[in-house]
Amino acid sequence: MKVLFPEKYGFCNGVREAIRKTAAAIDKAGSASLPCFVIGDVVHSSFVMEELGKRGLIRVDSPEEIKGPGTVVVRAHGITDMDRAILIEKGLEIVDATCPVVLHSQSLIRSNPEMTVVIGKAGHSEIVSLLGSGAAVLIEKPSDLKILQKGEYPAVVQTTFSVSVLDEIIRTAASMGISLKLLNSVCSASIDRRQALLRLAPDVEAFIIAGDRSSKNTVELYEVGKSTGKPSFLVSSPDEITSEILSFSVVGLTAGASCPDTLFQSIRRRLTNA
């Protein structure tokens, strides 16, 4: 099988830096015989979380679970202002690994005296952190717009959101007399990986997207692959490479922004050795 690669794929700067800061925080806490925690996942990759867990990182679901002294890493997609206040109150050392792009979105909401419309996927860690950064209301799809009165609203979009769904939401809003003034945009790392994938489409029979199903960025790459009409497969490990995948002669292989190179290379090897 021939495997082609897009010009951009895999780790973005935000993910790379979050992992680097977390590894350093684990080592520093460990040298003082203190635990190092994270609320949720540092990045959306079970592979990365397993590696960081082996190194000593303790994953919890909420700040209330953390007892005693130690360090807490703030995940790449940030946490709510309330959770941060609880961590400070507990006297924990905070290592902020929030991606600067997400920090910027949070600050836009925080500094806005009016209500901000947050456009994104309900329950995603970035959306949880954005909604917890000030007065904000979530719009996930065009039908959600009915909760808004006619008028003009500042809006912040999830960094990895679908550009086509965003356009649809803005168009539908306009037809309802609602003007959404976007204060940010889908992050360039997400856009670059999607556009690079599209450029590969004429040369391949199918797309393989390496990464985690919990990663919005990865799922969007998969959707972009499907939108070209080519069969597309999201695989989280080499074991998920099926005989159907191996039946293609030329595939395009890409990776979500939180997919580590070790995992990407093991998937590549499985494909090229076929």
Q: Which residues bind ligand SF4 (CB under 6 A)?
A: 12-15, 76, 99, 101-102, 159-160, 187, 189-190, 217, 257
Can you name the residues that pair with 156 across neighbouring β-strands? 118
Report, in Å, the least distance between residue 11 CB and ligand SF4. 8
Residue 24 C-beta: closest distance to ligand SF4, Å: 18
User: Minimal CA–CA distance to 13: which of 101, 144, 128, 108?
Assistant: 101
Closer residue to ligand SF4 in complex, CB, 19/253:
19
Query: Considering the complex, what minimum distance in angstroms separates the CB of residue 69 from ligand SF4?
Result: 29
Residue with Cβ nearer ligand SF4 (106 or 116): 106
**Region of residue 231 (phi > 0: left; psi between -120 and 50: alpha; otherwise: beta):** beta
Residue ranges of alpha helices (H) inside the chain are: 13-31, 46-55, 81-89, 100-110, 125-131, 163-175, 188-200, 216-227, 243-246, 261-272
Instruction: Indicate the residue among 66 and 186 with the shorter CB distance to ligand SF4.
Output: 186
Query: Nearer to ligand SF4 by C-beta: 106 or 160?
Result: 160
Residue nearest to ligand SF4 (CB): 14
Considering the complex, state which of residue 204 and residue 255 has its C-beta at the smaller distance from ligand SF4: 255
Task: Select from 73, 112, 115, 77 the least CA-distant residue to 92.
Answer: 73
Q: What is the 3-state secondary structure (H, E, C) of 200-252?
A: HHHHCCEEEEECCCCCHHHHHHHHHHHHCCCCEEEECCHHHCCHHHHCCCEEE
Residue 22 Cβ, how far from ligand SF4 at the closest point, in Å? 13
Shortest Cβ 51–ligand SF4 spacing (Å) = 18
